[in-house]
Amino acid sequence: MQQHTLVLASRSPRRQNLLRQIGLEFDSIPSTVDEHIDETVSPVAHVTILAERKAHDVARTLAAGIVIGADTIVVHDDEIIEKPEDADDAVRMLRRLSDQRHEVFTGYSLVEVPSMRVLTRHVRTEVWFRKLADDEIRAYVASGSPMDKAGAYGIQDDFGAVFVRRIIGDFYNVMGLPLCDFYCAYRRFTNQDHEGCNGIELA
């Protein structure tokens, strides 16, 4: 049973739906931090640093509770691909990912207030796209759906769902929050651990 005030440092509808899927009640307070980061850092550092920044940004405004911060990126050929700047950028991204393998990294951070105790983790998933026709790409971009998503696609979208031919790893990680890993981390963080999560290493 949830015993803590929980706050998601985002208004992302995908992350909200995922948290509700595992039965959590929460408020949404979007972080206002600058998400620009040194481009030389690794993908893991990128997502974990930003997840912590977002969580701490909102945690400083609260008297008590637990804040969740998260960040998701797509990586192709060792280059980080974030959200598209405009429709042309989204078309370019999707053409690049067509018939290619890429990686999705999500970092998440739990910050407890007022102790400021923190747990930050990341999960990586490999994704393969089939070859995309140009009319498919343009129709998807015209729908507006890619514009707020890393890599310009959502695996849960009508079009995005049929672009992906294979994944290795957590499907929900590609949506923006690795549910199994997060669920076990949250239970451990709130002293609700149980034997079903013993195989998840949270050191």
Cβ–Cβ under 8 Å, residues 169 and 124:
yes
Tokens of 88: 């042309």
Average pLDDT across the chain, whole number: 92
Read off the pLDDT band of 40 (50, 70, 90).
confident
Q: Which residues pair with residue 103 across a beta bridge?
A: 75, 126
Query: Is a pLDDT exceeding 50 seen at residue 163?
Result: yes
C-alpha 47: how far from its chain's center?
9
Which CATH number is 6-197 given? 3.90.950.10
Give CA–CA dist 176/185, Å, rounded.
16
pLDDT-derived band at 36, boundaries 50, 70, 90: confident
Q: What is the pLDDT of residue 203?
A: 45
pLDDT at 191: 87
Q: Which of 27, 38, 57, 71 is catalytic?
A: 71
**Is there a contact between 112 and 68 (Cβ–Cβ < 8 Å)?**
no
- Residue holding tokens 């969580």? 55
User: Would you list the domain boundaries of the chain?
Assistant: 6-197
- Whether residue 84 contacts residue 146, with contact meaning beta carbons closer than 8 Å, is answered with yes
- The confidence score (pLDDT) of residue 157 equals 83
Q: How many CA atoms lie within 13 A of 84 on its CB side?
A: 21
Active site residue 71: yes
For residue 30, give Cα distances in angstroms to 62, 78, 173: 13, 29, 20
List, for residues 126-155, the tens digit of each pLDDT value: 999 999 999 999 999 999 999 989 999 999
